[in-house]
Structure 1
């Protein structure tokens, strides 16, 4: 799933590269506004989850501020690529022991401490990415961009190598 994450983010960014800043920043009625806001939220959430499972620095702000994490497209692309490479390295180190424990954190969204099996948190992490990439894909398509294939079975074998 880390390889799929990397592949899909690269595909969506390549499609977004065909748009200008105004099109990426336009409010398209999505929960996080538009293409850039949703990309930013996803990077913010990835950093938040990785702070819980791999000790990354947690991002500033909460969900409401997450859409404003990145406003510069080139800086975002660099940050997204770096995060995807770090996620790939982390996933490569995971083993059954790491996934069999329990993860406990204070959820600002829920306003309380939460404990769940680590495997469930990791599954959520990757599912959350797919959910928001689907929104980005739809917005890109509506804006006239052409994202690539999304079928997991067609992921090139060299992704992440």
Structure 2
């Protein structure tokens, strides 16, 4: 289904896109970031927090390290400000990239089993599918944030994968 090169490319894409998204978010006021824009999670910052929360949750399943610092009922409030979000986003993107760099294609075989707090039960799925879910979830919610940023008048960067720089700035 996927291999190490795919994961590494997507980890780099994720970091590149999040850096651009942060820059666009920084052009808005705190009130504009918190304004309910009718999106699934309401505001730009709430959606960005949900995305960060989900990345940390999936990474805890992949690398065995810590997960989000709040439960699913507080996922949209993971960080209180854009500045805090930016710091935590940078750390999490570094974690994803470091994990991807160390990954071997064989690590993507077999199943992953975890307890889903949202579903309230144990879940088992193919590892490759779960890793694909990490990157698909990122792209989905960044698309929502991109639309909200554009509607708010922020200047956003290109999102096409083929436009990603060959080298840095991943982080």
TM-score (norm 2): 0.90
- Counterpart-to-counterpart distance in 1, 2:69 and 2:119: 17
Residue 121 of structure 2 corresponds to 112
**Post-superposition CA distance 1:47-77 (Å, at most 9, x none):** 0000100112121444331000012111110
- Counterpart-to-counterpart distance in 2, 1:154 and 1:10: 15
Please tell me whether the aligned partners of residues 47 and 56 of structure 1 are also in contact (alpha carbons under 8 angstroms).
Answer: no
Residue 152 of structure 1 corresponds to 161
- Counterpart-to-counterpart distance in 2, 1:67 and 1:138: 18
- Counterpart-to-counterpart distance in 1, 2:65 and 2:82: 22
Residue 86 of structure 1 corresponds to 95
Q: Does 1:56 align with 2:65?
A: yes
**Residue in structure 2 matching 1:16, options 10, 25, 28:** 25
Residue 104 of structure 2 corresponds to 95
How many residue pairs get aligned? The number is: 161
Question: 1:101, CA displacement in angstroms?
Answer: 2.0
Question: 1:94, CA displacement in angstroms?
Answer: 1.1
TM-score (norm 1): 0.96
Consecutive unaligned residues of structure 1, counting only runs of 5 or more, are none
Please tell me whether the aligned partners of residues 54 and 90 of structure 1 are also in contact (alpha carbons under 8 angstroms).
Answer: yes
Structure 1 runs of 4+ aligned residues shifted over 6 Å read: none
User: 1:62/1:30 Cα in 2 relative to 1: closer, same or farther (>3 Å)?
Assistant: farther
Partner of 1:138, secondary structure, is helix
Question: 1:32, CA displacement in angstroms?
Answer: 1.3
Consecutive unaligned residues of structure 2, counting only runs of 5 or more, are 1-9
Please give the root-mean-square deviation of Cα atoms over the aligned residues, in Å: 1.2
